[in-house]
Amino acid sequence: MQIRGVEKQFAGEVALRDINLDIRRGEVHGLVGANGAGKSTLIRCIAGVTVPDRGTITIDGTELRHGSPRASEAAGLAFIHQELNLVPHFSALENILLGAPKATRLLLIDWKTSGIAARAAAERVGIRFPLETRVSELSVAERWLVMISKALVRRANLIAMDEPTASLSAAESEQLFRIIRDLAGDGVAILYVSHRLDEVLDLCDRITVLRDGAIVDREVRGKLDKKGLVRAIIGHDVGHGEQRERRVVPRDGTPVFAARGVARGEAVKGVSFEVYPGEVFALGGLVGSGRTEVARLAIGADKLEAGHFEMNGARLDVADEAEAVSKGLALVPEERRAQGMLLDQSVAFNINLASLLQLRSVPGLPFVSAGKARGRAEHLMKQLAVKAPGAGAKISGLSGGNQQKTMIARWLRPGTKVLILDEPSRGVDVGAREEIHGAIRDLARNGVGIIVISSDVEELAILADRVVVLREGHVTGELVGDEISEARIIELSYMHGSEIGEPMEAKG
């Protein structure tokens, strides 16, 4: 497969820039990069889900038609995403053959004949369970094998895998690697996308590194070590740019907020941290490391399985979001559109949503004062420099940055004691980002406990006074003040399971 000059823009933002990539038969090709570097977009282009703005993709000399998942499949490309697209209540056999041409007899599917090819594929990947088992009864590792068999039945000659080992045990991963190498030996090309750099270094014949939508490095196996890979992922301009004076807040007294060994399922496995008044505290780590899940536990959206949270030294138990809010804990969510904004309502309505009780004309009577509501909205819009035609303008017409400011304004009220901001500057332009950062620092200075969650290491390095980095539900390290740098955060983010617990923690 050859990719030549593929580019893609989303709403003026460059997602892919002049991508040239060759994947040969029989090779395992690693694709790495930070969140948002363009890996998913590239794969979506190859899969025919996204139409690139320009560039060509050729397979064995034939050009692939853009934007057609069918054409991609016919050309022998198969894609295995993290959220394996299997039908849970179909058997493994039915799933393997789903969508593939099947032998028929009198218009009815002849499962016996069709099954032969499926069983051959299953044998090749080492499936030991009966193919009649329902997929819902299979483990994640077994489902992966079903997906790979499915690709083989369609005679795929390139299989793209997205984070295959994310939920596999070490032994299961080993088995998968063996299968991948076998397939490569048979001439199948594998495009292997992963955040686990050790795996990539170990498994892949060649590695391509994406950063900000462009290929920044490619190496054959052995020419690159983990340090070099990390450097390539974050770029060489580490530490350059808007560094600011960090405040190391004295940590005496009681923390305004604390997590004590909180855990839930596979996502969060015993996370502890303390947030002191006056500091900008941040949770770092890759997507899927458990940051957002910790936030959901804190606000009562999910139930804790172990551990507890504390607010101002007292144990904090919340049954649901409403109780969290009434106790002063609020979340500015990651998905602004889906979880934050009321798109068909005005800016003022959106700002005042969490303060309706304080805006009553007469306390005790349920009537909201239009004057007070408007006054509060206009005051906060001015304070946060929200650019809008007016408080009555619909929020859907605002830019991403102004929408995000509106979401923060919602919580600027006396009752807010701890504010969690999940990806506060996602989809926000640089100018608005600075203003949002300013607002966050102001809040912290006024004694509100601040927890920033961000995938953007640069943002963490600029904004945070203290960073706790998570990796697969564990805390891998804590950085304070001048220790905080993009490189250190990345290093902790990619730290592998076995290294956890080593003396990596640097106390301030």
Question: 411 or 494, CB closer to another protein?
Answer: 411
Nearest-approach distance from CB 367 to another protein, in angstroms? 5
* Residue among 14 and 368 whose Cβ is closer to another protein: 368
Minimum CB distance to another protein, residue 445 (Å): 25
Backbone phi and psi for residue 89, each to the nearest 5 degrees, phi listed first: -100, 15
Sign of the dihedral through C-alpha 195, 201, 203, 204: positive
Exposed e or buried b per residue across 11-42, where buried means at least 16 C-beta atoms within 10 angstroms of its C-beta: eeeebbbebebebeeebbbbbbbbbbbbbbbb
- Name the strand (E) or helix (H) holding 383: helix 370-383
We find the least distance from the C-beta atom of residue 458 to another protein, in angstroms, to be: 27
Q: Provide the minimum distance between the beta carbon of 335 and another protein in the complex, in angstroms, as a whole number.
A: 8
Q: Give the interface with another protein as residue ranges (CB under 8 A).
A: 53-54, 299, 320-322, 324-326, 330-331, 333, 338-345, 349, 352-354, 356-357, 359-360, 366-368, 396-397, 410
Q: Which is nearer to another protein, 53 or 198 (CB)?
A: 53
Closer to another protein by CB, 68 or 396: give it: 396
Partners of residue 208 on adjacent β-strands: 31, 218
Give CA angle at 158 (155, 162), nearest 5°: 120
Neighbours of 339 (CB within 10 A): 12
Total residues belonging to the chain: 508
Q: Are 453 and 282 in contact (CB under 8 A)?
A: yes
Residue 40 or 396: the one with the smaller Cβ distance to another protein is: 396
CB of 410 to another protein, least distance (A): 7
Q: What angle do CA 194, 339, 437 make, to 5 degrees?
A: 75
Residue-by-residue DSSP string for 437-479 = HHHHHHHHHTT-EEEEE-S-HHHHHHH-SEEEEEETTEEEEEE
Whole-angstrom distance, CA of residue 152 vs CA of residue 188: 9
At its nearest, how many Å lie between another protein and the CB of residue 111?
34
Closest to another protein by CB, 3 vs 299, is 299
Q: Report d(CA 387, CA 390) in Å as an integer.
A: 8
State the nearest-atom distance from the C-beta of 31 to another protein, in Å: 26
Query: Closer CB to another protein, residue 245 or residue 344?
Result: 344
Cβ atoms of residues 298 and 329 within 8 Å: yes
